[in-house]
Amino acid sequence: MKFNHVLRRATLVATFLTCGLPLSSTAQAQWGDLKGQFIFDGDIPPLDEADSTKEAICAPKALTDDLVVNKDNKGIANIFVFIPAKEKPKVHPDLKTPKENAVVLDQKMCRFIPHAQVMRTGQVLDVKSMDNCLHNTRPNPLKNDPTNFAVPANAREGLTWKVSVAETNPTQVKCDIHTWMSAYVLILDHPYAVVSDKDGKFEIKNLPVGELEFRFWHERPGYVEKAIKIKIENGKTKDLGTIKVKGEKFAKS
């Protein structure tokens, strides 16, 4: 009886393998990638600058970073591309937990570095400074606990802000001592979010197969696209190509 049971099980497994049938939920999972490039459609406006001459350590004119367009290819940096937290997507096994426990927000010449980034619930924001002057850091989230702490000169050990809840949209971080200083961090409970690079390019890997809802968000206009449906196919990269965004969207109100 025992031998027959083993034989039947071996035959069943062999049949599954031969027919390409799934053996487990992990085997059933299918994944694909997404990429694209945001292009500024119109004449590139001059960079915004703030007068920072009162602080010797700062650059004479500090860039505000609220709109960064590559003059060579018109790529738009710092656009968030993400699946909203409400969608609760299936997560690839390799992405179940973040590789790092913290993400770093640094400060140099009275600018936050990086200006835009993504973090996950359970991580901490590790705030540091390379400046020889006092800063303060004030995230203003909707769902997580807000905070406001002083960052001493040359603080390399860092001060931490803990987050536990996914946010709907990116959270602004300010320095009230140097009012032009601003950064954005998007807090999600899944890994499917990126920020466009200096060329306006972005890529998200190992997305679950199917029709997924994405948001495109930038600090000036807010939603570039609030709810765009994109079909992800198994083993393929969905290339959105160049996504032209009208320059009027980025006009200051």
Burial class (CB in 10 A: 0-12, 13-18, 19+), 53: exposed
Q: From first to last of its 253 residues, what are the pLDDT tens digits of the chain? A: 443 444 444 444 344 344 444 434 444 679 999 999 999 999 999 887 776 556 767 766 767 899 999 999 999 999 999 999 999 999 999 999 999 999 999 999 899 999 999 999 999 999 999 999 999 999 999 999 999 999 999 999 989 999 999 999 999 999 999 989 999 999 999 999 999 999 999 999 999 999 999 999 999 999 999 999 999 999 999 999 999 999 999 998 7
| pLDDT for residue 204 | 98
Q: Name the CA dihedral angle for 237, 241, 245, 250, rounded to a multiple of 10 degrees.
A: 60
Domain ranges across the chain: 30-250
| pLDDT for residue 59 | 67
* Among candidate residues 120, 92, 103, 80, the one with its CA nearest the CA of residue 222: 80
Class of domain 30-250 as given by CATH: mainly beta
Q: Decide: 172 and 144 in contact? Cβ < 8 Å.
A: no
Q: Which residues, other chains included, contact 46 with Cβ-Cβ below 8 Å and sequence gap of 6+?
A: none
Residues in a beta bridge with 122: none
Q: Decide: 152 and 69 in contact? Cβ < 8 Å.
A: no
Instruction: Provide the token pair at 249.
Output: 């969207």
Q: Decide: 134 and 152 in contact? Cβ < 8 Å.
A: yes
| pLDDT for residue 44 | 94
Q: Decide: 82 and 195 in contact? Cβ < 8 Å.
A: no
- Give this prediction's pTM: 0.87
Sheet architecture: strand order including 210-218: 193-195, 80-82, 210-218, 222-232
